[in-house]
Structure formats: C-alpha cells, structure tokens
Amino acid sequence: MSRLTVGPGITLFKALAGDAVLQAALAVIEASPPRKMLTPGGKAMSVAMTNCGPLGWVTDRDGYRYVSDDPSTGRPWPAMPAPMAELAAAAAEASSFPGFVPEACLVNLYDTESRMGAHQDRDERDRAAPIVSVSFGLSARFRIGGTSRGGPTLSFVLDHGDVLVFGGPARLAYHGVDRVLPGRHATLGAQRINLTFRRVT
C-alpha cells in the first residue's frame, strides 16, 4: 500500500482494498444485479449500476436521484456489508475526513467498451463528506479536474485494489473514466468494478 497526494483534497491509496471488500461487492452484485440505467435524455448508460446501503443512486427519464428501494425489485437496496463501510471510513480518515459513515454505495460494472463522461457528483446534499472510490478488476484511465468544466485535468490509472478519496476543495471536481484498459483480470475477467461511497443527506 502507498499513499499519494494527487492534488488538494485528492488522495490515492494504491492496493488498499483487499479480497474481503471484493467478495462483499460480489455478494451485492448477486443480490441486486447491475443494470444499464437510462439517462434523463433516454439513452442507456454504458456502465451497469446497482447500489447498497440505505440509499442508492438511480437515473431514468425523471432524472438523477437517490432512492431507498431498488426500482427493479421494489425492495430496499442490499445492506452495506461491514467490510465495505469500514474500508471507506478508514480511507476517509487517512485523508483527513474523520467520521465518514457512508449512506450509499454506487456499484459500477464496466466492460472494456464502457466509459464515464466527465461529471460532478452533485446529487448529494452533504458536501462536507468526501467521495471514496474503490476499484477492482481491469485497470482504467481515470481523469479528474477542477470544479469548472473544461479546465485543466490530471489523468492516472486506477488498478485493482486502489482507493481514491476526493473531498474538501475537490468534492465537486469534474471526473470520469476515459477508458478501461483491455485485458483479463484473474478474478473478474474482462470487467472492472468501481464502488463509490457517498454521504447523501
């Protein structure tokens, strides 16, 4: 494990997340399978999504929002497994954000064609808490900039087990995934999983 300061409010922990967190994420995926949600404009996203925790992020023709039930089952999202919440809290604490208790974990499943365009995470009322992002499987080229669209950006590769925390001055930083790097991961094959832990209310 190594800890790198990428920029103000942005900390990267290489290879911090281990197998207990990955197995927990796979159990969530089994309980509530990821699906390609529709953007408000009606286009299917290239990333399949699900959630765990008291709240989950969804998008459809009615817009982006957090809901307590999985729209595809009508039941609450799976509970957030303790190893996931504990890792997110530890990474936040080590990045000067103590007391992080996530309310939502968005689980993103990528294949080698998936991308995520530059966006801000701004559907959360709580902007004091950071975003904690955990990556597994295939590596991906991640890009993060400032709080206005079109400014300078930094890009780096997120590998299996990496944990990225962005908060404080970077809480509303534009970020996205340029591409997933081709290959096969020993456990996940040609897939990438990303978990983002958020405080919402």
With contact defined as beta carbons under 8 Å apart, do 131 and 142 qualify? no
Taking Cα atoms as reference points, which of 145, 146, 142 lies closest to residue 133?
A: 142
When the beta carbons of 70 and 121 are compared against Fe ion, the nearer one is 121
Q: Are residues 159 and 192 in contact, defined by beta-carbon separation less than 8 angstroms?
A: no
Q: Least separation, in Å, of the C-beta of 121 and Fe ion? A: 4
**Considering CB distances under 5 to 8 angstroms, the limit depending on partner class, which of Fe ion, ligand SIN, none binds residue 95?**
none
Structure tokens that stand for 35 in this block: 């699906």
User: Please, which residue, 75 or 120, has the CB nearer to ligand SIN?
Assistant: 120
Alpha helices (H) along 3-76: 19-31
Instruction: Find the binder of ligand SIN among 12, 177, 180, 200 (CB under 6 A).
Output: 177
Q: How far apart are CA 164 and CA 158, in angstroms?
A: 9
Q: Does 124 bind Fe ion (CB under 5 A)?
A: no
Structure tokens at 148: 């206005």
Q: Does 142 interact with ligand SIN (rule: CB under 6 A)?
A: yes
Task: Decide: is 121 part of the binding site for Fe ion (CB under 5 A).
Answer: yes
Distance between CA atoms of residues 18 and 11, nearest Å = 18
Q: Which is nearer to ligand SIN, 60 or 75 (CB)?
A: 60
Residue nearest to ligand SIN (CB): 194
User: Which partner from the list ligand SIN, Fe ion, none does 142 bind, CB cut-off 5 to 8 Å by kind?
Assistant: ligand SIN
CB atoms within 10 A of CB 156: 15
One-letter amino acid at 31 equals A
Residues that bind ligand SIN (CB under 6 A): 106, 108, 116, 133, 135, 142, 158, 175, 177, 194, 196
Residues found near Fe ion in the complex (CB under 5 A): 121
